[in-house]
Amino acid sequence: MKSGFQLQWEINELQAGSIIREFLKEEEISRVALTDIKFNGGKILVNDMEVNVRYMLKEGEVLTVIFPRENPSEGAAGEKIPLDILFEDQYLLVVNKPAGMSTIPSREHPTGSLANALVGYYEEIGLSATSHIVTRLDRDTSGIVLIAKHRHVHHLLSKQQKNGNIKRTYEALAEGNFALEKGTIEKPIGRKLDSIIEREVRSDGQYACTHYCVLKRHKEFTHVELQLKTGRTHQIRVHMSFIGHPLLGDDLYGGTLSLIARQALHCKIIQFPHPFTGQNMIFTADLPLDMSELIKADF
């Protein structure tokens, strides 16, 4: 049976005397979430008895918050698409997305997206939730994607992302021979005026910062590792093109298609503190064959 997401706490001596509203505020449950709980089928229980947010907690009591059941997004129908799951618990998923899969449906690609696959997977395991994708990747970028299983978990992970606590490491194959072994690109990025897709470095854009490090120099390209301080749309692709080293296969930003048919970009590592346990979570996804074979061939 599908059930709503819930959280539970056993009240200790320090927490005793707190009003539930204030206690839940400390646990980062928003007023919007509390309103949703009150009017859309959620519950707040103390020792399995329903109470309101003005209840004063006592030591040893068990507080349970049951969130309203979520419904899958109308924009993403469930599809039976295999997922490469690196990690899963009751709160989140970490998956390895292949190149060629959109993160969410679009007009050009209304089916076959990661969101469609997630809804289909949730239907299979009996989870009532929509797809809460925290870290998105472009359709032709491969690698790790972090997903929340509930809107409250999404809220917590989005705050982590905003605070720079979710760190992603990418690997890319970029054209040319880099003059430096490592460097930082701090150039603002904005939408190109004559395009709804393409971005560019522009003075009125949003601040963007990319760190890069050369891993190995090849005859026709350089294998680089990249870390983002910010997460602007197409950030790595735009910054690499700006410094004269577009990614192999990235014809939108000046890359050649002679060696690979998609931008040679892969999110290899993600690291973040678990939003509930605080444990340091680190996951790695090996380079896909199209990129690893180019490296082995040593073009």
* pLDDT tens, position by position, 223-261: 999 999 998 999 999 999 999 999 999 999 999 999 999
Residue 286 lies in a domain: no
Token pair 């239907």: residue: 123
**Nearby residues of 49 by Cβ (< 8 Å), 6 or more positions away:** none
- Examine the domain organization and report whether 59 and 122 are in the same domain: no
Paired residues of 186 in beta bridges = 209
Domain that holds residue 143: 70-163
Residue 140 lies in a domain: yes
Which pLDDT tens digit goes with each residue over 48-77? 999 999 999 999 999 999 999 888 766 678
269: nearest Cα among 89, 163, 132, 146: 146
Q: With 50 as the cut, is the pLDDT of residue 290 above it?
A: yes
The set of catalytic residues is 138
- Examine the domain organization and report whether 82 and 116 are in the same domain: yes
Residue 39 lies in a domain: yes
- Examine the domain organization and report whether 260 and 174 are in the same domain: yes
Residue 55 lies in a domain: yes
Q: Provide the number of structural domains found in the chain.
A: 3
- Examine the domain organization and report whether 75 and 60 are in the same domain: no
Q: Can you point out the beta strands (E) in the chain?
A: 6-10, 43-46, 49-50, 62-66, 85-88, 92-97, 132-133, 142-148, 167-175, 182-186, 189-191, 199-201, 209-217, 221-228, 265-273, 280-284
- Examine the domain organization and report whether 196 and 147 are in the same domain: no
Query: What is the rounded CA–CA span in Å between residue 268 and residue 25?
Result: 35
- Examine the domain organization and report whether 199 and 216 are in the same domain: yes
Q: With 70 as the cut, is the pLDDT of residue 2 above it?
A: no
Q: With 90 as the cut, is the pLDDT of residue 4 above it?
A: no
Q: What is the rounded average pLDDT of the residues 167-187? A: 96
> Domain with 98 in it: what CATH number?
3.30.2350.10
- Examine the domain organization and report whether 186 and 136 are in the same domain: no
Instruction: Work out the mean pLDDT of the chain and round it to a whole number.
Output: 93
Which pLDDT tens digit goes with each residue over 266-279? 999 999 999 999 99
Q: What percent of the chain has pLDDT over 70?
A: 97
- CB contact at 8 A, 206 and 232: yes
- Examine the domain organization and report whether 77 and 117 are in the same domain: yes
- Examine the domain organization and report whether 174 and 221 are in the same domain: yes
- Examine the domain organization and report whether 185 and 241 are in the same domain: yes
Residue 297 lies in a domain: no
**Nearby residues of 249 by Cβ (< 8 Å), 6 or more positions away:** 140, 255, 256, 257, 259, 260, 261, 262, 263, 264
Which pLDDT tens digit goes with each residue over 85-113? 999 999 999 999 999 999 988 888 888 99
- Examine the domain organization and report whether 99 and 135 are in the same domain: yes
- Examine the domain organization and report whether 129 and 201 are in the same domain: no
Paired residues of 191 in beta bridges = 199
Residue 296 lies in a domain: no
Query: What is the rounded CA–CA span in Å between residue 237 and residue 17?
Result: 53
Residue 260 lies in a domain: yes
Residue 280 lies in a domain: no
Which pLDDT tens digit goes with each residue over 6-28? 999 999 999 999 999 999 999 99
Q: With 80 as the cut, is the pLDDT of residue 3 above it?
A: no
Residue of 73 and 5 predicted with greater confidence: 5
Of 114, 130, 163, which one is at a domain's C-terminal end? 163
Reported as a pLDDT band with limits 50, 70 and 90, residue 1 is very low
At 74 the pLDDT is 66
